[in-house]
A and B are shown apart, each in its own frame.
Chain A
Amino acid sequence: MQELLQSIASGIVVGSLYSLVGVGIVVIYKSTHVFNFAQGGLLMLGGYLAWCFMEQGGMPIWLGLICGLGAAVAIGGLIERFGMRRLVGQPILSLIIVTLALEALIGGSVTLFWGDREYNVFPEFIPPQPVKFLGVVLSLQHMIIFASTICVIILFVLFFSYSKWGLDMRAVAEDHQAAMCMGISTKIVFMMAWMISTVLAYIGGVLLGSVNGVSTTLNHIAGNCFPVVLLGGLESIPGVLIAGLIVGVLEYLSGQYLDPIVGASTREIVPYIILILVLIIRPHGLFGLKRIERI
């Protein structure tokens, strides 16, 4: 029983991290209809930025985190201004390919600038103390990851539901031209979407980096986030949260109960099996919008 509870708890924590990264992908998709394959790279870059300011720059933790955040915002803006904006009006596939190129560019740049150490470690700002409840033991780091994710997601649900900018972004996602006719600047909306997404990746990078250290493998987490986003429905933030938790828990349960039967690690394929099954039944994901087009 303890194993089951522990698997579920660990799965929820790791799943929440998937959700956090997934929200970044959803934010861009909601506004621009571009599926951002560079989210993993941005997360890795976020981790490196924080580490760079705190360790290499010798800044106090709080200042390093703020500077990293500022850099993340700037990078998001620059990507939109000099990368994506020039491709407005081009086929959506071109934009998606650009995000793939961006992922490779970030990976190469990080290796070039900081790649001489395998793991870069933050000064300890979240102690790995154990937290026990109901026979389950989690670390404080994991609890903070979970709490941060929930807070961020609630914040974004509110942002998209009630704030002017959030509503503008939804309007642009719905119809660029109609939104422009209503006086909404699509340029600002696109830029904001990229900035928000980069900030989310930064938060993910810092949280994940505080557990595993900052390394060039940080972006691997995105591999598990893509099925999460598709499962939740590309445009639904609560959907991504729920899908992340489902995938996280099923990963751990499969590790616990399927691996001994199969004789290999099934964790990495489980999200994709779930994804295929769900997409067969609900092609728009669990919470995605079912599009009806007039012919």
Chain B
Amino acid sequence: MAFRLLTIKQGGRVMKRRISSRLVLVLVAVGFFFLAVTAPVVLAKEVKLGVFGDVTGPIAFTGQQFYKGYTDYFKWVEKYNPIPGTTIKILMEDTGYDPKRYLPVLKKFVEEDISAGYIMGTMGTMTMEKELRELKIPCVSEGSGYPPAINPPGYVFLLRPLYPDFLATAGIYFMEQWKKAGKTEKPKLIEITWDTPYGRGCIDQGEPWAKAYGYEVLPYQLFSGQPNDLSTQLLKAKNLKADLVYSNHLEGHQAVLLKDAARLDLLDKMQFCGGSECRGAEIIKLAGKATEGAWSVSHFADWTETQNKGIQLCMNLQKEFRGVLDYQTQYVMGVIPAIITAEAIRYAAKTFGPEKVSKETIYQALTTMPEIDMLGITANVKFSPTERRPYKHMNVSKCVNGQWVKEKYQIEVPWLKP
């Protein structure tokens, strides 16, 4: 048995003790144990996501619902289907749909070293698109009203086709019905829409397409602010004998339009159709029976599609994280960017390794990964190095008996060129 000498200074005297090597081994083992306990564990890679939250300001409600859907999905991912080797941290700053606030928030997110972002509207996309290209931060965006974001393709990945494609969806489906009814003359299309970049989003590309597709396009009618009465615009549509009235505006606007159309006895004379923000429970509450028969074009499934796995997921998210089922179209829309972002991170982690997940690898994932399974909420998503629109298929829903139900899904749109 080996012996060692330990020299211990005590009170100025030097003491020498013999201890067994067994004791040394025990001490070393204890030391290792404490080291193991106190040493930092190998941490999962923290992936920071920046949300440009328009949770106050003119689209506050929409932004709040987007944010709820987005965060709930990531909570669900962390709980039931975590991305191996990573944890997700969501940073949200209020941008208030105010162009002055986006760039300071972007600067803050750059300091935080975010790997990807989520933009809630056209305003944020317009304001930051150039900077995002320079900073090379991939962001998914609701800003379908800003075509330069996709041409040439940059770092903004749209969550739906551009607004003119919404108009085209309505145009294609209406023409199908028109021809089925045996009508041979050109149907007349009029836009009654909000005078904002969002509201005007269909005009420049959508109306020339409609002309080429066989419509007679009537002069568009605009309104500003929150209207209380849209009689003048509707009377114009009546006098010009419009067949299809298309609007790109919010639920409150569409409710006034439909109520006024009912008052002017126009509901049977023309088909009213709005974009994706014209389809929710609120519009039915606001406009009542006037909503019956109205159409809405959108990129995602109806809440009434309870067999749809994506809608089931949204309902489960609400039950689990909100405690109640609350039909809000914007909530569903908030889940969509979360699915796309989560799948891009998952793909980046799998392909490059969790520690390599960064804005560069997420960008690569978004542009090269195979089709993302959207569980039926929308058509499956596929970007490419040259394309920033997610899919070519859109839905038309109809208000029947106080509910928005499937009228026709998966209508292929032309992807109108910006």
Binding site for B on A (CB under 8 A): 2-3, 6-7, 10, 13-14, 17, 108, 111, 115-119, 121, 124, 128, 130, 137-139, 142, 208, 211-213, 215-218, 220-221, 223-224, 252, 255-256, 259-260, 264-265, 267-268
Contacts and interface: CB of A to CB of B under 8 A. Distances in A.
Interface stretch (B29-37, B120-128, B147-155, B226-234): B226-234
A130 B61 contact: no
A3 B231 CA distance: 9
A123 to B, nearest CB: 10
A16 B56 CA distance: 30
Contacts of B229: 10, 13-14, 142, 252
Interface in B32-81: 56, 58, 60-62, 64
Nearest to B59: A118
A119 B232 contact: no
Given A115-B61, A212-B226, A10 B263 contact: no
Contact of A259 (B221, B255, B259): B221
Contacts of A14: 228-229
A128 B60 contact: no
B387 interface: no
Given A111-B56, A139-B263, 16 more contacts: A3-B236, A7-B231, A7-B232, A13-B228, A13-B229, A121-B286, A137-B264, A211-B256, A212-B252, A212-B256, A217-B226, A220-B225, A255-B233, A256-B236, A267-B223, A268-B225
Nearest to B330: A118
A3 B251 CA distance: 26
Contact of B224 (A17, A115, A265): A265
B285 interface: yes
Contacts of B285: 119, 121, 213
B288 interface: yes
Contacts of A224: 225
Interface string B255-271: 11001101111000000
Interface of B: 56, 58, 60-62, 64, 195, 219, 221-226, 228-229, 231-233, 235-236, 239, 250-252, 255-256, 259-260, 262-265, 280, 282, 285-286, 288
Contacts, number: 111
A13 B243 CA distance: 29
B239 A115 contact: no
Contacts of B58: 217
Contacts of B62: 118
Choose among B219, B229, B239, B263 the residue with the greatest number of A CB atoms under 10 Å from its CB: B229
Contacts of A221: 226
A55 to B, nearest CB: 11
A119 B251 CA distance: 9
Contacts of B232: 3, 6-7, 10, 252, 255-256
A128 B288 contact: yes
Contacts of A256: 232, 236
Nearest to A216: B60
A255 B228 contact: no
Given A118-B282, A128-B288, A216 B61 contact: yes
Contacts of A6: 231-232, 235
